[in-house]
Structure 1
Amino acid sequence: MTGTSYWVDLYQAQQRLGGGFLLTRRFVLTALHCLRGLSLDEHVGIELADGERVEGRVCRQDKEADLALVEIGAGHQVTLPIPAADVARDGDRWRGPYRPAANDVHLSGRVSAGAAQHLCVGGATIEALQLTTDQHLGDYSGYSGGPVEGVGDDGTRQPAVVGILIEQAPDRAAEARAANVLFAATIREAIRRFDHLDVVHLIDVLRPPGPDRDHLVQDGTTPARFVGTEALLLQLDAWAQRSLIDPSQIAELKFMAVKALIDGEGNGGTA
């Protein structure tokens, strides 16, 4: 169940760098500019929402899209819940569970444009959400890297993470001032750019279920055609625990297995 317990603060020594969130139990997704120029393989401290600090390292960067992955050290077992993921819809309400400090407000607002192409500051054209905020703060920079949760138009839909805050729009009437319009890269964009993510819980983001498939997941059981892949994923975890496979290869193997399943779904389940 999605909640506020999956976001993190990133530190180098005692200096807070910015926010991020657990996309899997191994990887933290953040906005690259939050890392303030840190290079690949540099170590960062990760403070979890429950106050625990674990070690991590910068493992992937996409400068043009302003996205980065921080890998949690192999010696740490993160047990906090991983967020459910979804695709945002135009007009939905959204909220930001992360805030830079305890005296800062939580952001909320409306998705004014979902999954649209956006030319970001880094130079890449990415799939992004355009968000309006209820809070007129002027400067939203401290919220970068935080997750965006979609809560539905009426606020009754089960919250699910739909994007990551990366930048804000300038006020056209005064360039030095920021408008209350933010942009968030979609989770689908992050998955596309970081191909070794462990994406088992993100299948519906890559290929959202249609009306003809909804009945397959109503009872919480695994559809028969998914059983083989699920068994393989469990076996990979078992091999990792026995040190039969290098941990750095596990996520890539899982991604390949899930991608094959998704591609099969796109071919009518014949793969």
Structure 2
Amino acid sequence: MRGDQPRVVERDDGDSMTGAGYWVELYQAQQRLGGGFLLTRRFVLTALHCLSGLPSDAHVGIVLADGQRIGGRVCRQDKDADLALVEIHAEHQVTLPIPAADVARGGDRWRGPYRPAAHEVHLSGNVSNGSALHQCVGGATIEALQLTADQVLGDYSGYSGGPVEGVLDGGSRQPAVVGILIEQAQDRADGTRAANVLFAATIGEAMRRFDHLDVAHLIDVIRPPRQEPETPADDEPPSRAPRFAGTEALLLQLDEWGQRQIMDSAQIAELKFMAVKALIENEAAGGSV
């Protein structure tokens, strides 16, 4: 996991990176940096150490699961939690499906849909511990999953940044993403060896870490400065509802649905982004809300 170095990879895009997947690979020039996945249609979530010290605003190449190559930039880094957010360039329209998110529990099965090359195995295993506090290598105490892998590889570094899917009801239900791989534990019997115990930050932790996934700040871009209301004259008609009130009410409603777990956090983030994007486009066109 941590400590993996960029490498040049010749891969068969006709195998593990094809289909309707939501995972991606990140590149700079011809060097593979690591894996990641679409958290929304505008943002890719990855492990920060996969970016190999790239600064914020650095441009990276993104290879989608269907083989399409697009551009992006590193927009946020959380060094303490070893997480990073890559924004897809605005000219690219991503049509691949966005995964549903869920919460994993101890004893659940998990699998990794992403693999770093066609000849590599897909990881799978058991969730040893459900969501629990974990002090990651970056220093932060984060909400994470402890995972045991069925495959004893010794080095899992190439899988860093890849998504962790929960396998529910014996595979009868559509899998949902429950975390992002960030670390590998050391063998307790021999500290020089790595164990098949992995750690994944939960999706909830990632959503809390990045305000880019909370579109409330976009409202401030187009909201006019607050002014003290004047006292209306007796013959004046009642004042209209505040500007953007409808959109803000929708955002609040989405937050409530998230708290009640009617919808998962990734879906809510995508809907909120779409709502505010539509509002901004309408304002730019001179329309009324």
Same fold (TM over 0.5): yes
SS in 2 for 1:196: helix
SS in 1 for 2:55: coil
1:236 aligns with 2:288: no
Q: Per the alignment, do residues 233 and 172 of structure 1 end up closer, same or farther by CA in structure 2, a change over 3 Å counting?
A: closer
**1:243 and 1:72 mapped to 2: Cα distance?**
23
1:127 aligns with 2:167: no
Question: Which one-letter code corresponds to 1:100 in the other structure?
Answer: P
Q: Per the alignment, do residues 234 and 13 of structure 1 end up closer, same or farther by CA in structure 2, a change over 3 Å counting?
A: closer
**1:177 and 1:77 mapped to 2: Cα distance?**
43
Contact 1:91–1:111 at 8 Å: present in 2 too? yes
Structure 2 residue runs of 5 or longer lacking an equivalent are 1-18, 216-250
> Taking structure 1 as the reference length, what is the TM-score of the superposition?
0.76
Equivalenced residues, count: 224
2:170 is matched with 154
Contact 2:127–2:148 at 8 Å: present in 1 too? yes
SS in 2 for 1:38: coil
Contact 2:104–2:131 at 8 Å: present in 1 too? yes
SS in 2 for 1:118: strand
Q: Percent identity?
A: 74
1:40 aligns with 2:36: no
1:207 is matched with 259
Question: Which one-letter code corresponds to 2:70 in the other structure?
Answer: V
Contact 1:87–1:205 at 8 Å: present in 2 too? no
Tell me the C-alpha RMSD between the 2 structures. 2.6
Structure 1 residue runs of 5 or longer lacking an equivalent are 218-225, 246-271
Q: How does 1:185-264 map to 2 (within 5 A)?
A: 185-197=201-213, 207=259, 209=261, 236-241=276-281, 244=284
Contact 1:171–1:178 at 8 Å: present in 2 too? yes
Q: How does 1:45-56 map to 2 (within 5 A)?
A: 45-56=61-72
SS in 1 for 2:126: strand
2:29 is matched with 13
**1:161 and 1:38 mapped to 2: Cα distance?**
26
SS in 2 for 1:5: coil
Contact 1:41–1:59 at 8 Å: present in 2 too? yes
Contact 2:20–2:97 at 8 Å: present in 1 too? no
Larger Rg: 2
> Taking structure 2 as the reference length, what is the TM-score of the superposition?
0.72
**2:34 and 2:275 mapped to 1: Cα distance?**
36
Q: Per the alignment, do residues 34 and 203 of structure 1 end up closer, same or farther by CA in structure 2, a change over 3 Å counting?
A: farther
